[in-house]
Chains A and B, each alone.
Chain A
Amino acid sequence: MTGSDKDTLEILVEKARAGKRQAFSEIVRRLMPQVTALTYRMTGDRDTALDLAQDAFVTAWEKLDSYRGESGIAGWIYRIASNKTLNHIKLQARLVGESAVPEPVAPEATSSPENLLRRKELAERVRRFMLDLPPQQRAIFELRFYKEMPFAEIAAATERALGTVKTGYREAVKKLRDLATREGWL
């Protein structure tokens, strides 16, 4: 996100706080891809990811008066989405009795160029890697690696100690490296 994009988002937030729903709709439009990417990497399910992304924006609208502006509206909404997704995973585990990991969708193979196929296969393996992580570690990795959030902000979002967050991230990174070594990516 460029500096001017961020400034414009914050201006939209101020308009939304003043009750202009159209301003918030524009925030939704701009951030929907990133938020959906987060919920998808954490759940592995397309429909669930889209539903949770919608839920996150609705909640963000409802709680807009509690937004302090410290992390930027995007970071704030990522936190909401991450927590909603974690609660969803937890609830699903309680209802179905185990953490259900969706079966991977086979990447299209036939007519893709070799490097595009390789990239899709790699993306699918990384997706499986993410889903094999414990939910909290998954959230930490998502927020740090993909959303580039500072550790302190992740600690606040996941309500864990800073040291725990850092340790969680390192453990996820080391697991990823081990996977990459076994798969021959390195």
Chain B
Amino acid sequence: MMNCEQAREIIELHFGGDQIPGDLQAHLTECESCRAYYDEMTALARGLGSDIDSPFSAEDFDRATAGAVDRIDRQPVIELRPAGWLRPMLRVAAVLLVVGMSYSSYRMGVESNLGAALDTLQTADADIDRLTVLLEYDTDDELDEDMISILIDDYCTDASYEATTSLLDDISEEELEYLTENFEVGELL
């Protein structure tokens, strides 16, 4: 038997929806207070406006559409490969990245957190959608642009956005400044 607390929880979860569960219906027929709450929330949802109730005109949409289509048309034609290639490619790229990072770090004398990178790759091997790499470097040394580019390209080809979000969480202010000055970060994100 549903109580009022449970009823209100369901009402809130169904806010804006059309149908409510049968057991809630039964409770509402018996409880005036919850019925009043339900009616109030239904009226509120109705008053919020439609999905496309916005300040844009048809011309705004036409221009934005033309802009998107133009950007798509300017892209090179790429054959759509079967989905099966992505994960093996990412694993190869991840291994090359670690090898490349360690070699570059040795050559450049830049400290890199190789241990953390390897730990993360072991996790990534089990769940490649959650691949994150902690990139630490000495800001007085010149950044390796190729490594940064590979890192960004790897994560931006992944359908999961947590990788890019985690990248934002983990990079320093200097790294963020470098990225925004040298890459079109908005597009990459």
Residues of A that sit less than 8 Å from B by CB: 17, 19, 21, 24-25, 28-29, 32-34, 36-37, 40-41, 46, 49-51, 53-55, 57-58, 61-66, 83-84, 86-88, 90-91, 94-95, 105, 119, 122-123, 126, 144-148, 151, 159, 166, 169-170, 173-174, 176-177, 180, 185-186
Q: What residues on B are CB-neighbors of A46 within 8 Å?
A: 55-56, 60
- Please encode chain B, from 4 to 44, with 1 for each CB lying within 8 Å of some chain A CB and 0 for all others: 00000100110111000000000000000000000011011
Give B36 Cβ to nearest chain A Cβ, in Å. 10
The A interface, classified by DSSP as helix, strand, loop or mixed, is helix
> Which residue of B12, B75, B159, B168 contacts A94 across the interface (Cβ within 8 Å)?
B168
- Whether B164 lies near A58 (C-beta < 8 A) is no
B83 within 8 Å of A by Cβ? yes
Q: What residues on B are CB-neighbors of A170 within 8 Å?
A: 9, 12-13
- Whether A173 lies near B81 (C-beta < 8 A) is no
Query: How many chain B residues touch A (Cβ–Cβ < 8 Å)?
Result: 52
Q: What residues on A are CB-neighbors of B56 within 8 Å?
A: 33, 36-37, 40, 46, 49-50
- Whether A28 lies near B176 (C-beta < 8 A) is no
The B interface, classified by DSSP as helix, strand, loop or mixed, is helix
Q: Known contacts A146-B51, A169-B13; is A90 also within 8 Å of B168 by CB?
A: yes
| Chain A CB within 10 Å, residue with most, of B55, B164, B180, B185 | B55
Q: What residues on A are CB-neighbors of B48 within 8 Å?
A: 122, 126, 145
- In the bound assembly, the distance between CA atoms of A57 and B67 in angstroms comes to 10
> Which residue of B65, B68, B75, B168 contacts A87 across the interface (Cβ within 8 Å)?
B168
- In the bound assembly, the distance between CA atoms of A94 and B179 in angstroms comes to 13
In the complex, 13 of the A-B residue pairs with CB atoms within 8 angstroms, ordered by the A residue number, are A19-B79, A21-B72, A36-B64, A40-B56, A50-B63, A54-B67, A58-B68, A66-B159, A87-B161, A126-B48, A169-B13, A177-B40, A186-B44
